[in-house]
Amino acid sequence: MRGVRRVAGGRRMRDLVPALLGAPRFLIEPARTRNDYHRLRQQVFVHEQGLFALSDRDDRDDDPRTIVLEARDASGALLGGVRLGPATDGPDIGWWQGGRLVVDPAVRGAQRIGPALIRAACAAAEQAGALRFDATVQVRFRRMFERLGWLSIRPVTVAGQPHHLMRWPIGRIAALAAATKNPLGGLLDGLNPGGAGFVGDDGAPVPGSDLIAACDAILPSMVERDPHWAGWCAVLVNVNDLAAMGAAPVGLLNAVGARDATAAAKILSGLREAATAYGIPILGGHTQLGVPAALSATALGRTARPVPGGGGRPGHRVRLTADLGGGWRPGYQGRQWDSTSWRQPDELRQMQEFVAASGPAAAKDVSMAGIAGTLGMLAEAGGCGAVLDVASVPRPAAATMGDWLTCFPGFAMLTAGPQRPAPAGPAVTAECGELVAGRGVGLRWPDGEITPAVSGGVTGMGAAA
């Protein structure tokens, strides 16, 4: 026991950890200067392999967006490197390529430096917001990439030599759909939410009237951490649900749970501020103190002709109408885009009236499933699939494509089928896809490739009758 106390006390423990786990033999990090990496590439690709006559340098080396990752040993000596970056000129649309993977001939094999660099490149591409990550590799390395989880696409030729196009599967969109929407079909089986023709909508027609009812709850962790913003969002998500069905807001009911009156006041201040901005009266509700944070709201709207989420059919073009103003909500980088809290009431109302004025065949407001996942919900309700043209999606400059397609974007509406021209205030509209036969959502890229985003139905609720 005396020995245990001595080891746990300080320096002896720090000495023991490397002995148990093994000290790292190399470290991978972004290159500070690329001179050593370029020299190693020249040594291997030009002098050793003869793939290039004079130099393997190309335009990607001069692109300021290109990232170089290097593996160096404890003394700082370069062991290997790899580069990655956007595959297209102009704005980064989330299509990245890796390449020029090189390892010093003196250390090949034993330390598995190449596979470690490949894994690091995959992680860096996903962190940068990529939704497609390709690499062209020499045929002899195809099996290694497959063992690391890469998909084999097709043979290609590079520098006159046979290579293979490989693709790293990025499941970000599918994972979001699985976490937020996939269980709904089983959970709601037998409840017939929405009634005939409105399965999958966030609002539902009230039988025997021209009323639309919508209900949303805010994540308790968000209510606890950011109560004023939670109050604003409780109004925002409900008026968006009404707007997607072409309904004008009539009133709002809320249920608030808080640990004390101070916390409840912060939530209600956000509710009041948003309700005033959107012109929707708070009709009443329920407030409970001395309980964990909780917030939900129910909104009522009115329309004689509700727009269904399931009205789309194969062949219909898809449009996104989104407010690109604003920025990431502090504390929610990459997850919540705040385009609404700073808008004037007349701007908010113009956006909310867009669907009613344009009268599309189908519409859905973009929710927690993100743009791509919500498109999958719209397609599923219509009994079909969808393809999203990534390069045509309107997007703020401050958001990566991966973040934008998977975040809550404040105000964003997906519409399908014929529709009338209509004002949308500060929001912009762009045609960016189509509904197709089948299921799921694919991402279409400028080279014509379609990569899967969601393989099947998003909610499991099926098509609206």
Looking at per-residue pLDDT, the higher value among 182 and 262 belongs to: 262
**pLDDT tens-digit series, residues 121-138:** 999 999 999 999 999 999
Under a CB-based contact definition with an 8 Å cutoff, are residues 68 and 31 in contact? Answer: yes
Q: What is the pLDDT, as a whole number, of residue 3?
A: 40
- Domain coordinates in residue numbering, the chain: 25-170, 202-306, 308-465
Burial class (CB within 10 angstroms; exposed 0-12, middle 13-18, buried 19+) of 209: exposed
Q: What is the pLDDT, as a whole number, of residue 267?
A: 98
- Across the chain, what does the average pLDDT equal? 92
Name the H helices within 128-189: 142-147, 172-180, 184-187
Burial class (CB within 10 angstroms; exposed 0-12, middle 13-18, buried 19+) of 310: buried
**Alpha carbon distances (Å) from 438 to 249, 315, 376, 417:** 35, 12, 11, 17
How many residues comprise the chain? 465
Q: What is the pLDDT, as a whole number, of residue 461?
A: 85
At the topology level, CATH places domain 308-465 in Phosphoribosyl-aminoimidazole Synthetase; Chain A, domain 2 (3.90.650)
pLDDT greater than 50 at residue 450: yes
**pLDDT tens-digit series, residues 382-407:** 999 999 999 999 999 999 999 999 99
**What are the structure tokens assigned to 37, written together?**
């990496």
Q: Which of 365, 345, 335, 367 is nearest to 274 (CA)?
A: 345
**Alpha carbon distances (Å) from 464 to 188, 198, 200, 227, 437:** 14, 6, 7, 36, 16
What is the pLDDT averaged over residues 347-365? 97
Pairing of strands 282-289, 248-258: parallel
* CATH number 3.30.1330.10 given to 202-306: yes
* CATH number 3.40.50.880 given to 25-170: no
What is the pLDDT averaged over residues 246-250? 97
Taking the C-alpha atoms of residue 27 and residue 120, their distance in angstroms, rounded to an integer, is 11
Under a CB-based contact definition with an 8 Å cutoff, are residues 202 and 244 in contact? Answer: yes
What is the pLDDT averaged over residues 149-172? 94
Name the H helices within 133-288: 142-147, 172-180, 184-187, 220-225, 227-244, 261-278
E strand segments, 119-200: 132-138, 151-158, 161-168
The pLDDT confidence band at residue 181, using thresholds 50, 70 and 90, is confident
Degrees to nearest 5, angle at CA 434 with 432 and 435: 145
The pLDDT confidence band at residue 418, using thresholds 50, 70 and 90, is very high
Taking the C-alpha atoms of residue 151 and residue 49, their distance in angstroms, rounded to an integer, is 25
Q: Which helix (H) or strand (E) holds 379?
A: helix 370-381
Q: What is the pLDDT, as a whole number, of residue 182?
A: 85
Total-model pTM: 0.91
Taking the C-alpha atoms of residue 71 and residue 83, their distance in angstroms, rounded to an integer, is 12
